[in-house]
Amino acid sequence: MERILVTGANGQLGSELRVIAKKYSNYEWVFADRTKITLDDLDLLQTQLEEIKPNIIFNCGAYTAVDKAETEKELAFKVNHLAVELIAKYALENNAKLIHISTDYVFDGESSVALSEEAITNPINVYGESKRAGEIACLKENPNSIIIRTSWVYSKFGNNFVKTMQQLMQERDEINVVNDQIGSPTYAADLAKAMIDILESAEWIPGIYNYSNEGEISWYEFALRIKELGGYSCNVGGIPSASYPTPARRPEFSLLDKKKIMRIYNLEIPNYKESLKKMFR
């Protein structure tokens, strides 16, 4: 029986994979939190991989504190670059399949059309730089890897925009949300299913792929949809990013083009409205 190692097991995507794993008992699943897989200690990480001996690695673990990364650059690069490099090397040497999760933050947000996998990367914050360095190292060390770039991830697990909005809309009469950052949300349960579909498909075709739900919206429009589904009475206002400064800059436009993953792996990608409804249910 093939053994699947899921890093970042307690994160949004790792938690959704844990739910979906029950339907895939043809694999032996190892869900590794920070105690089982230590991404910020490379010597220990090597030892842990050798002990677990996975045939398949879903690398969902990452340093994702976007604003904190501006002052914790070394740690962000250790987890998002050097640990990925080591995992990719291990996968190649041990003939293990690797799906590594990356981000829309590898782009600068200057585009006005949906970004394909070939679009030029130019991160504008430390988190994006560290994730791009991880992508480069992953494919250099192991050209047989699959990298999935995703965006605006939410789930019923962990901390995310949807849950924050639900809480604020119940606590406050009025909130403001940025209306000039454009992209598309990703329901982690949909991405988890897509990863398994790729794993189980007839052919393994390495390279970079984009995955998010369908739809082009701003965070403000996303908040309005959450308000509607939750039946909240809170007033939601739209504001420019300049009115809500953060330590790390965000790309203004990071809509991902999903044609490649749909064509090669024959995936059907739900519209964000359908997936949001599913999470609310």
Place of tokens 């308000």: 227
281, part of any domain: no
236, part of any domain: no
What residues contact 157, with CB distance under 8 A and at least 6 apart?
Answer: 11, 12, 15, 16, 188
258, part of any domain: yes
Query: Is residue 101 within 8 Å of 62, Cβ to Cβ?
Result: yes
22, part of any domain: yes
pTM for the whole structure? 0.97
Q: State the total domains in the chain.
A: 1
**C-alpha–C-alpha distance, residues 271 and 111, integer Å:** 22
* Domain assignment of residue 262, given as a range: 3-160+186-215+250-270
Q: What is the pLDDT of residue 223?
A: 98
How many residues are present in the chain?
281
**C-alpha–C-alpha distance, residues 193 and 24, integer Å:** 11
Give the residue numbers marked as catalytic.
127
Q: What is the pLDDT of residue 242?
A: 93
Q: Where are the beta strands (DSSP E) in 126-267?
A: 146-150, 153-154, 174-178, 182-183, 186-187, 207-210, 217-218, 235-239
Q: Let me know the angle formed at the C-alpha of 65 by 70 and 215, rounded to the nearest 5 degrees.
A: 110
23, part of any domain: yes
Q: What is the pLDDT of residue 201?
A: 96
Runs of H (alpha helix) within 22-142: 42-52, 73-77, 83-93, 126-141
The CATH number of the domain where 10 resides is what?
3.40.50.720
85, part of any domain: yes
224, part of any domain: no
151, part of any domain: yes
Along the 281 residues of the chain, how does pLDDT read in single tens digits?
999 999 999 999 999 999 999 999 999 999 999 999 999 999 999 999 999 999 999 999 999 999 999 999 999 999 999 999 999 999 999 999 999 999 999 999 999 999 999 999 999 999 999 999 999 999 999 999 999 999 999 999 999 999 999 999 999 999 999 999 999 999 999 999 999 999 999 999 999 999 999 999 999 999 999 999 999 999 999 999 999 899 999 999 999 999 999 999 999 999 999 999 999 99
